[in-house]
Structure 1
Amino acid sequence: MNQKVALITGGSRGIGGAIAESLANEGFDIAISYANNAACAEDVVKAIQAKGRRALAIKADGSTVEGNKAVISKTLSELGRIDVLVCNAGRYPYGLINEMSTEEIDKTLTLNLRSVMIETAEAVKHMQAGSRLIYIGSAFGERAPFPGISVYSATKAALPGFARGVARDLGSKGITANVVQPGPIDTELNPADGAAAKMLSSFVATGAYGKTADIAAAVSFLASPGAGYVTGSTLTVDGGLCA
């Protein structure tokens, strides 16, 4: 029970999967949550176990309070503690605000923002000094360079404000709270050779997509002892999209 544990929501693939493996390399046992793809989640678990670390995959409905609480309680019951919480699960609705349904707006607010708040509130009840809260935001929370992302941008823009408040709430307890804001990252859902890649790359100073390893490295830094004096901050890893 002395082995440190990191929980990554939405950790079955893409950025979440890369974060899970990176933190396992840093010596953490790992819990991940996933919505539907059990096969991908199991692949991540096997990769982490191959590194000699304990690993747990939790199927959870991030759209419900019960699902958010279950991710925390299951991690605690199976792995004994939570030292790092990485809130990565989210959704990306695309559409003009005048065409967006209230149902779509509610789903996005629930998964991208409310779930982060609930999971944080539940996890910190069991966290000790030195623990880390890390929220995966988006460069689109700081800049909306094209139409159709207003709802998504709003939810991601809220995360730095939440992190600053949490940093104040928990600073005396030695728990930090920070945001990592990725730019366009090459994943299965947003490939660097996909239909939108040329447009998205044109907004980036480097003219190229980033890699999941870029985001995982930023998270690993914030989870490390070397980041103990970093809290309430936003680390933007976007190739200069916001420059």
Structure 2
Amino acid sequence: MLASATRKILVIGGSRGIGAAIVARFAAEGDDVSFTWAGSQTAAEAVAARTGAHAIRSDASDRDATIALLREIGPLDVLVYNSALLLPGDPLTLEPDAVDHLIDVNIRGPYFASVEAARQMSEGGRIILIGSVHGDRMPFEGLTAYGMSKSALQGLARGLARDFGARDITVNVVQPGPTNTDMNPHDGPLMQAMHDEMALKRHGTAEDVAHLVVYLAGPHASGITGAMHTIDGGFGV
């Protein structure tokens, strides 16, 4: 993959938080960036206006819609799957349909998106999945379904790295810890509990995560695949 070439990028889940930062970082690199959104048209339009990226409404939980979108967009240089649901609660009382919905977005979504993207992806392409440090460590109650889904991304990346390696397509997982976004603000009610578990007593930034993603998509990361890249302020040490 040439550093100077304009790359075609799709970020699934790019209208807010870490996803929006990833879109902005790729756009700043001069890439041709598209991103999907499902919940907030206002937020998506703001990201598109600020970055020049193309906003596409698409439901990451809908397998057929995701496959159709990737076929319509055509060959990609980079796919970033960022969409995810957080479903806290006692597993004995969580609604089964809500758990199924989480599985659709957090596990089935990245599987089918990655496979479909790889059908047309050029040699040297990149697939990057946004996971979580909770794929490695779970110090809190009530996050079983979420942790399960993020651990699943690890197996997905390792398997696809083998399956696509002959085509020089790399597959990696970025695993953020507590990150300052609308969903997890640095001054939120769980701040102290999170910081107590961290070596660096502060939330990370979405921009730091985005820079790691862009590095993994670049030429100097061509030998990195099937790996977990944790950026968590020492939450998992």
TM above 0.5, yes or no, is yes
**C-alpha contact 1:58 1:74 (8 A) present in aligned 2:** no
Query: Mean alpha-carbon deviation: is it higher for 173-182 or for 65-74?
Result: 65-74
Q: CA deviation at 1:36?
A: 2.0
Q: Quick one: which amino acid aligns to residue 135 of structure 1?
A: L
- Structure 1 alignment gaps of length 5 or more: 50-54
- The equivalent of 2:16 in structure 1 is 13
Q: CA deviation at 1:39?
A: 1.3
Distance 1:212 1:71 in 2: 26
> Is 1:29 aligned with 2:32?
yes
Q: CA RMSD in A?
A: 1.1
Query: Mean alpha-carbon deviation: is it higher for 60-69 or for 227-236?
Result: 60-69
Distance 2:76 2:190 in 1: 37
- Hey, which bits of structure 1, 4+ residues long, moved more than 6 A? none
Q: CA deviation at 1:207?
A: 1.1
**What SS does the aligned partner of 2:89 have?**
coil
- The equivalent of 2:92 in structure 1 is 98
1:41 to 41, 44, 55: 44
1:56 to 54, 61, 67: 54
**C-alpha contact 1:60 1:70 (8 A) present in aligned 2:** no
- The equivalent of 1:52 in structure 2 is none
**What SS does the aligned partner of 1:96 have?**
coil
Distance 2:73 2:42 in 1: 19
Q: CA deviation at 1:43?
A: 1.2
Q: CA deviation at 1:101?
A: 1.8
**C-alpha contact 1:31 1:75 (8 A) present in aligned 2:** no
1:173 to 167, 172, 179: 167
**C-alpha contact 1:58 1:71 (8 A) present in aligned 2:** no
**C-alpha contact 1:182 1:238 (8 A) present in aligned 2:** yes
- The equivalent of 1:130 in structure 2 is 124
> Is 1:69 aligned with 2:63?
no
Q: CA deviation at 1:27?
A: 2.3
Q: Quick one: which amino acid aligns to residue 230 of structure 2?
A: T
Q: Quick one: which amino acid aligns to residue 10 of structure 1?
A: G
Aligned length: 233
Q: TM-score, normalised by structure 2?
A: 0.95
Distance 1:215 1:163 in 2: 18
Distance 1:73 1:169 in 2: 20
Q: CA deviation at 1:71?
A: 3.1
Task: Give per-residue Cα distances to partners, 1:172-226, cap 9 Å, x unaligned.
Answer: 1010000000000000111111111121121111111000011101101100000
**What SS does the aligned partner of 2:220 have?**
helix
Distance 2:201 2:65 in 1: 39
Task: Give per-residue Cα distances to partners, 1:71-127, cap 9 Å, x unaligned.
Answer: 313433xxxx31100000010000021122211211111100101011111111110
- Structure 2 alignment gaps of length 5 or more: none
